[in-house]
Amino acid sequence: MRVTFTANGRRVEADDVWEGESLLFVLRERLGLPGSKNACEQGECGSCTVYLDGEPVCSCLVAAGQVQGREVRTVEGLADPETGLDVVQQAFVDAGAVQCGFCTPGLVVQSHDLLRRNPRPSDNDIREALSGNLCRCTGYEMIMDAVRLAAARAGASGEVSR
Amino acid sequence: MSPIRTEKNLQSITTAHPDGVGGSPLRPDGILKVRGEFAYSSDLWHEDMLWGMALRSPHAHARILSIDTTGALTLPGVHAVMTHEDVPGAKFYGLEIHDQPALAFGKVRFQGEPVAIVAADHPETARRALDRIKVEYEVLPTLTTEEQCLHPETYGYVHEPHEYKADASGNVVHEQKVVSGLGVTDEVRATADVVVTGDYEVGMQDQAFLGPESGLAVPAEDGGIDLFVATQWLHVDREQIAPVLGLPEYKVRLTLAGVGGAFGGREDLSMQIHACLLAQRTGRPVKIVYSREESFFGHVHRHPARLSYEHGATRDGRLVYCEARIVLDGGAYASSSPAVVGNAASLGIGPYEVPNVNMLALALYSNNPSCGAMRGFGAVQACFAYETQMDKLAAALDMDPVELRRLNAVSQGSVMPTGQEIDAPAPVAELLRRVKARPLPPALDLTDLDLRDLPGALSNTSHGEGIVRGVGYAVGIKNVGFSEGFDDYSTARVRLEVIGGEPVAMVHTAMAEVGQGGVTVQGQIVRTELGVERVTIHPADTEVGSAGSTSASRQTYMTGGAVKLAAEAVRNELLALGRRRYGWTWNDLSLVGGKVVSASAGPLVPIADLLGDSAIDVTREHHHRPTVAFDKETGQGSGHVQYCFCAHRAVVDVDVELGLVKVVELAAVQDVGRAINPLSVVGQIQGGATQGLGLAVMEEIVVKDGKVLNPSFTDYLIPTILDTPPQPVEVLELADEHAPYGLRGVGEAPTLSSTPAVVAAIRQATGLALNRVPVRPEHLTGTGG
Ligand code: FES
Ligand code: FES
């Protein structure tokens, strides 16, 4: 089948898609957007998190056909190419929240969503919001630091991430 | 943080640089990673590429009667189907013992053993092709228990004696004794006032790195293969791959693709040989990416262990003797079991002075999943047992458990049970003192409760009733680098040239960056040694000499050391050039801020001017000091390069009715010799400790009759951000004068001590014995298990 949708603001089209393919597979293998990760493909790790019509979802659990005509935003589309990095991305680098980085794209998207909804999250809010995103390297402490830092910076600049 | 500094061994010629040694510059790969642009091994793509996939045995032990691949071969889109008959070279490979077939023949010895491989135009085509391969098995009885494995005459062999290069002694892969002092005799026992004994068990833990095993094999014009892969050690992969392909090593070229974590699980081969075989067969690039389920079968795990300990002590708390027996289940193939046994035996008494020791450690062949390297490598299992013993002994003596440990702690100059003297700082007592002195987290405030602070958290299982707090301590000892006479040298190439008017250093090594931050450290070392700003890290590949494995907490020590040597050589060459050209006679030259600087005469010349159009390109090997094998009967020998130590305090809240545990805080104090990158050091300690927390309360591959019951992240749980507490870390820097910059390997020690600390805290809260990890709810409620 053919699937057409918007990815990071661009109209994209994938041909010869097998009905069993996930959105994650189509992004990674057919559209050259491998930023969303494939740590489990079972909906357990959050590494594949993308925005679908503005809602964060596990793209490994979304059948490709379901996104026909819809809007997808991945980690690659988070930052304005002009400005470089989104405040969340920059905070992850600065706080030491990235080791192997395989969890990072999913965590960045999920944290981005958290700060959109809740610009001043408590530690428990952060933990709750990120509880579906596994990280095996960091022990999460520096991920907490990164989200706190992103919230503080976004608050200070009056620029809540979109 | 209040680090202690005694860096007496630092060379004065090296210069301070904010992004140099001791700073925390940002990771060079960080920006790519947060943008989703870093190319991991599973992201690779090649025009015309095929997808490879393996058919795995459903049985833990069976004879293969026949394999019929016709159905698969005739499926459109399938380009190759291969079995053992199609392997052009050696049929076996292995890290230490070549006992593992590239594709099974004759028998399968564990569930998930690869039997056939296919290459197809789509992963789904490949899956369907696997379904069409008919394998006829005669199912054989499995050997899965210690009892069965130790009595092969009755129960049979996993490998027939002398079948491969394995030990001739039946189902024992390797055993190591350690006897020191008088050993443990009746006379020795009689000198103890108090004796405590215990039998302990550690479940099979998985590395659970997030990036699945994956890579891309590309056939080359010279008949060789270029393999892009996530691994821990490029050169040892090549050493094992090339003979199976029937190729000389130089025709198998490996480049490191992005690695999504490793933790020991990538030390053995997984998809490498299969992708290369299929690429060789089809003449097309072949990509293999494991699913999470396949990953559970596709790599080795941490050895599950049964441990028996007996400690004797005097009334005032001095240890008199320790007798211990550690049985590790190595599973179907040897992997690194022999070295794991060596570690268990030589480190299994812990960081304590014990005058009389009788230790036996062994690893078994069984039909369970193969086990090998995982962070902590043989020292984790023992640490859970000896630390539990310390708590038991403290209780029997009515002593404070931390005081008992401090009383018996090793220090610099102590002699290990192997006879090896610890000739570097060993601040075990100080680590314990500091971790205990830390303020405790506040008690639960039941008047202003956030349910998310309770065990059960979001499940709303309690409003504070039935919650009991406990505090526990533990400390551990780990070796750094490969031991027992192994020369795991590392190679580094450093090139200095002028690009765009600026001196730029390039570092080329085969070190596997698996997330630990080795690439950051390499840049720091070069900036410190050469006084340049810009450092380029060349992709890791086999075009340069071996860097050894990214394991055993060794890369900063070994490859960092090699980069330091190469950079120093570049500096010497550059200064020699200056002396020749300008007739300098100063002996106080160094490279600072892109210039040659004399301490007495000030800046002399910019590096860029001195170097001009020429380049200095130097390759150096770094070898650690030699070690020796342990004597087979007595375990005597200076077998280890360096020791490292970490102490933990865990605070837990336990819902004693439901058996739920919440770790409230996990505090660590660790000596790192010198923190080359303090931010990364803390990240390693927190990450390592979290894996130990996982082993304490949730992580286990459940195996029944050789079959894995939980090969998914639905059923194999690793700590989430809700399960993981704040982790204050205090870092000591007591330089080891034998090591580059005085540094000490960091990554593994915290994985040892966090497990027993968490369990000790649960014990304090519940009063239960808890001799097995992971501790599950049913162990706390007495409702099963
Ligand atoms: S890959 Fe989608 S949740 Fe793990
Ligand atoms: S940084 Fe490796 S999984 Fe999170």
- What residue ranges of chain A have pLDDT lower than 50? 160-161
Half-sphere exposure of B459 (CA within 13 A, CB side): 10
Question: Is B550 inside any structural domain?
Answer: yes
Give the distance, in angstroms, between the CA of residue B330 and the centroid of all CA atoms in the same chain: 16
Single residue among B589, B623, B657 that ends a domain in this structure: B623
Q: Is A47 on the interface with B (CB under 8 A)?
A: yes
What is the distance in angstroms between the Cα of B211 and the nearest Cα belonging to chain A? 5
The residue whose CA has the least distance to atom 1 of ligand 1 is A41
Nearest alpha carbon to residue A41 among A56, A18, A24? A24
Angle at B19 between CA B17 and CA B21, to 5 degrees: 70
Distance, in angstroms, between B408 CA and closest chain A CA?
31
Residue B108 lies in a domain: yes
Is B687's CB within 8 Å of A139's CB? yes
Q: Do A130 and A98 share a structural domain?
A: yes
Query: In chain B, which among 722-761 make CB contacts under 8 A with chain A?
Result: 722, 724, 726-727
Same domain, A103 and A127: yes
Domain boundary among A78, A100, A127: A78
In-domain check, residue A150: yes
Q: A72 and A92 share a domain?
A: no
* Chain B contact present for A44, CB below 8 A: yes
For residue B69, what are the β-bridge partners? none
Please answer yes or no on whether A100 and B261 come within 8 Å at the CB atom.
Answer: yes
Task: For residue A47, give the ligand 2 atom closest to its CA.
Answer: 3
Domain for residue B709, yes or no?
Answer: no
Compute the distance from residue A41 Cα to the ligand 1 centre, in Å.
Answer: 4
Please indicate if any CB of chain A lies within 8 Å of the CB of B47. Answer: no
Q: Is B589 part of a structural domain of the chain?
A: yes
Sequence-ordered list of residues with C-beta below 8 angstroms from that of B615, at least 6 positions apart, any chain: B495, B496, B497
- Domain membership flag for residue A149: yes
Residues of A in contact with B690 (CB under 8 A): 138-140
Of A33, A40, A100, Cβ closest to residue B259:
A100
A85 touches chain B (CB under 8 A): yes
Identify the pLDDT of residue B5.
35
Choose one of B275, B298, B321: the last residue of a domain. Answer: B298
Domain check: are A8 and A72 in the same one?
Answer: yes
Please indicate, yes or no, if residue B100 is contained in any of the structural domains. yes
The total domain count for chain B is 2
- B710 contacts chain A (CB < 8 A): no
pLDDT in tens, B141-165: 999 999 999 999 899 999 987 766 5
Cβ-based contacts of B680 with chain A (< 8 Å) = 96
Which CATH number do you get for residue A59? 3.10.20.30
Bridge partners (DSSP) listed for residue B598: B589, B602
Q: For residue range B404-415, what is the model confidence (pLDDT) as tens digits?
A: 999 999 999 999
Shared domain for A54 and A31, answered yes or no, is yes
Judge if the beta carbon of residue A107 lies within 6 A of ligand 2: no
The last residue of one of the domains, among A78, A101, A134, is A78
| Same structural domain, A73 and A11 | yes
How far apart, in whole angstroms, are the C-alpha atoms of residue B755 and residue B752?
A: 6
Residue among A40, A110, A137, A147 to mutate when testing ligand 2 (max atoms within 8 A of CB): A137
Per-residue model confidence (pLDDT) at position B461: 87
B66 and chain A: CB distance < 8 Å anywhere? no
Identify the H or E element spanning A13. strand A10-14
Q: What is the pLDDT of residue B62?
A: 98
Residue B429 maps to a domain: no
Q: What is the CATH number of the domain that holds A100?
A: 1.10.150.120
- N- to C-terminal Cα distance for chain A? 33
**Contact between residue B51 and residue B121 where contact means Cβ atoms under 8 Å apart:** yes
User: Would you call A140 and B690 a contact, using CB atoms and an 8 Å cutoff?
Assistant: yes
Q: How many domains does chain A have?
A: 2
- Of A78, A104, A138, which residue sits at a domain end? A78
Residue closest to B515 by CA, chosen among A13, A97, A119:
A97
- Residue carrying the six token digits 């999920």: A110
Q: How far off is chain B from A69, nearest CA to CA, in Å? A: 24
Range of the domain at B557: 489-623
CATH number at B278 reads: 3.90.1170.50
Residues of chain A found within 8 Å of residue B31, distances taken between Cβ atoms: 85, 89, 93
Establish if A162 belongs to a structural domain: no
Q: Give residue B9's pLDDT.
A: 30
Q: Which ligand is nearest to the CA of A39?
A: 1
B561 is a domain residue:
yes
- The pair of structure tokens assigned to B169 is 């002694």
Residue A125's identity, in one-letter code, is: D
* Among A130, A136, A145, residue to substitute to test ligand 2 (most atoms within 8 Å of Cβ): A136
Tell me if B524 is assigned to some domain: yes
DSSP result, B547-587: ---S-TT-HHHHHHHHHHHHHHHHHHHHHHHHHHHH----S
φ/ψ (deg, to 5) at B760: -60, -40
Q: Is A26 an 8 Å CB contact of chain B?
A: no
Q: Say if the Cβ atoms of A134 and B718 lie within 8 Å.
A: yes
Query: What is the 3-class SS of A114-155, one letter each residue?
Result: HHHHCCCCCHHHHHHHCCCCCCCCCCCHHHHHHHHHHHHHHH
Which residues between 682 and 701 in chain B have a beta carbon less than 8 angstroms from any beta carbon of chain A? 682-683, 686-691
Strands B50-56 and B286-289: parallel
Residues A46 and A8 in one domain: yes
Q: Which of B262, B683, B714 sits opposite A142 (nearest CB)?
A: B683
Proximal ligand: closest to the CA of A107: 2
In the structure encoding, which two tokens stand for residue A45, read together? 């790790």
The structure tokens listed for B476 are 């551990």
- For A14, list phi and psi in degrees, rounded to 5: -125, 130
* Domain housing A103: 87-157
Is B122 in Cβ contact with A141 (below 8 Å)? no
For B291-389, list the strands marked E by DSSP. Answer: 301-302, 305-313, 319-329, 356-364, 371-372
Nearest-atom number in ligand 1 for the CA of A134 is: 4
In a shared domain, residues A71 and A137: no
Ligand nearest to the CA of B713: 1
Give the pLDDT score at B784. 65
What is the pTM for the complete model shown? 0.96
Cβ neighbors of B447 (< 8 A, separation 6 or more) are none
Q: What is the ipTM of this complex?
A: 0.97
- Are A28 and B43 within 8 A, CB to CB? yes
pLDDT value at residue B7 = 34
Nearest ligand atom owner, CA of A43: 1
Residues of chain B with pLDDT under 50: 1-14
Question: By the CB < 8 Å criterion, does B27 face chain A?
Answer: yes
Q: For chain B, positions 601-620, list CB contacts with chain A under 8 A.
A: none
Q: Show which of residues 346-375 on chain B sit within 8 Å of chain A, judged by CB atoms.
A: none
Burial class (CB in 10 A: 0-12, 13-18, 19+), B223: exposed
From the CB of B659, is ligand 2 less than 6 Å away?
Answer: no
Q: Last residue of a domain, which of B573, B600, B623? A: B623
Pair A74, A98 in one domain: no
Distance CA B596, CA B583 (A): 14
